[in-house]
Structure 1
């Protein structure tokens, strides 16, 4: 992978939360990328102080995603790295009744599935327009739901999102590998490969995993050879073995 300072390396992160999004953005900025960080209501002044380009984007709206890509292209250039870091969990009113989720909320969940598809389409167009040697990588922030059985019924909407996302990354990874374009479904796991600690009070777990995501995503981007589409990593950001 080339690290030439003459190359205009651009990254666009959709989903700029205080855990994963901002840590990945700052890592890529540190590595020499011009980084656009997108969220529904970005704190423009704070992001600019960190040398990040704020973008207003709704990850569940195809029109909003397309406008955001156009804004990034106009101001920074074609992104060579795109991270889709959006997830919505709609808890059903009755924990053991998955179909008690309102139809409106489930529709919003499906909009997110469409959103990652549109983001991947836009990213592919940017990757193909870049003729330089910079990495062309799309990373979606995943979890283990597509691979687990007998999960609580309350996870229906979130699981649907992640199953679609994982399937898309699998198909895209195989379809575009010959072009040197990489698609990944990246998942934090615990030391045993299972679901990470989801207690927000835990000293180590999902809710303070931003640095681990940043390290893992950079390992995917900077790798000389492509990793698998289903990429799992642990609390230290290193691949799960």
Structure 2
């Protein structure tokens, strides 16, 4: 398996990554796993004050987390348009409870705004390209047995791999679910 790492805050690197995929594999990307917010998290300087993060830091993080996702999705859609019909066309964004939570998390205010924006992009992409083109876009989050954020000890790279592989292998379902939750074993629990 090959992965290509890219600084998604730099659109030229996103473009170069998609070109590298095509050069390396001889075809456009048909599966994209997005985890751009990992490097875009800054703690609040004043606990409990969501607007205490300096504007420059907030915009830097938001550029990497949310605007990087936008650029990645632009290139993903263009690549999927050129993929052979018999191949799956799947974009999976790694998320957490912040992406779909109805209540903001003050402690994670900056990264929460990125995850919510990413969720909006994924839902919009699924709406625009899902039924008409068969492209699949997912916001995937590991949860505990109660459907909440798992403890650090429960996080599992293997669970992510199993869940993502399941999503890639399954054909698009009617209704076009985009919000996916899975457990520490990688079993899909919820698709909305």
TM-score, L = length of structure 2:
0.89
Provide runs of 4+ in structure 1 moved above 2 Å.
146-152, 224-227
179, 186, 189: which one aligns with 1:237: 186
Distance between the aligned counterparts of 2:171 and 2:20, measured in 1?
A: 30
Provide Cα deviations, 1:128-180, integer angstroms capped at 9, x if missing partner. 11124010001100111133355542211100110011011111111111211
Q: Tell me, yes or no, if structure 1 residue 78 matches structure 2 residue 28.
A: yes
Distance between the aligned counterparts of 1:134 and 1:225, measured in 2?
A: 12
Q: Tell me, yes or no, if structure 1 residue 140 matches structure 2 residue 93.
A: yes
Alignment map for 1:148-159 (pairs within 5 Å): 148-159=101-112
Contact 1:62 / 1:114 at 8 angstroms: preserved in 2?
no
Which runs of 5 or more residues in structure 2 are unaligned?
A: none
Distance between the aligned counterparts of 2:104 and 2:71, measured in 1?
A: 28
How far has the Cα of 1:67 moved from its partner? Answer: 1.4
Distance between the aligned counterparts of 1:98 and 1:69, measured in 2?
A: 35
Equivalent in the alignment of 1:217: 164
- Equivalent pairs counted in the alignment come to 183
How far has the Cα of 1:89 moved from its partner? Answer: 1.6
Distance between the aligned counterparts of 1:224 and 1:122, measured in 2?
A: 22
Contact 1:186 / 1:231 at 8 angstroms: preserved in 2?
yes
Q: Structure 1 150/173 Cα, relative in aligned 2: closer, same or farther at 3 Å?
A: closer
Contact 1:78 / 1:129 at 8 angstroms: preserved in 2?
yes
Provide Cα deviations, 1:2-35, integer angstroms capped at 9, x if missing partner. xxxxxxxxxxxxxxxxxxxxxxxxxxx3xxxxx3
Distance between the aligned counterparts of 1:238 and 1:141, measured in 2?
A: 15
Q: Tell me, yes or no, if structure 1 residue 197 matches structure 2 residue 163.
A: no
Equivalent in the alignment of 1:11: none
Q: Structure 1 78/97 Cα, relative in aligned 2: closer, same or farther at 3 Å?
A: same
